[in-house]
Amino acid sequence: MKARSILAAGLLAMLSTSAFAQLTTGLAYYHIDEGDLTLGALVGTVGYRIPVNDSFSVIPEIRGGVGIKDDTFAGVDIEIEGLFGGALRLEFLLNESFYLHLSPSYVRYKIKASAPVAGGTFSLSETSDEFGVGGGIGFRFTANFSLEASYEYVDGLDLIQLGARFSF
């Protein structure tokens, strides 16, 4: 326990030094395809860019989002109630404008299914914890603004992401 506290304090001290880290935020639309179902979510991220060298950075980040596109399968309405997770982005600069990123991730999401039954509605919610891996490409318009297209595979789900990232 003591070793974890010392490690956490050291990481926080390193992350709080502007010479070593840069705050990043993002907002993306997640298109989630699971065969017969297509769902959508709006997801925000917050992280710290830790430059390793001029062309490689590590960005630990947290994610949170809500469903904004529902679907129906066999008369049952399916929706994402929310999601939360984290990722460890590995970002590689290709040149001044383009970069690639890879990221192992963890996500906890809650899905709700509702169906009409005997004059009422029956609903069931399920929470799932999953690990995934993804990657994508980004284009920097300025040092503080970029657009990205990404793909992530999370336990049988295909997530296609389009979003914007901001650095401070």
Domain of residue 89, CATH code:
2.40.160.20
Q: How far apart are CA 52 and CA 45, in angstroms?
A: 21
pTM over 0.85: no
Domain, as residue range, for 158: 22-167
Write phi, then psi, for 6 (nearest 5 degrees).
Answer: -65, -45
Residue type (1 letter), 125? S
Q: Quick check: 6 pLDDT over 80?
A: no
Strand partners, 38: 33
Residue 160 in any domain: the answer is yes
Task: Quote the number of domains for the chain.
Answer: 1
pLDDT at 72 over 60: yes
Q: What is the mean pLDDT of residues 29-48?
A: 93
113 domain-assigned: yes
Contact 95, 64 (CB under 8 A): no
Query: Which of 25, 43, 50, 131 has the alpha carbon at shortest distance from 82?
Result: 43
Among 159, 161, 164, 100, which residue's Cα sits nearest to residue 131? Answer: 159
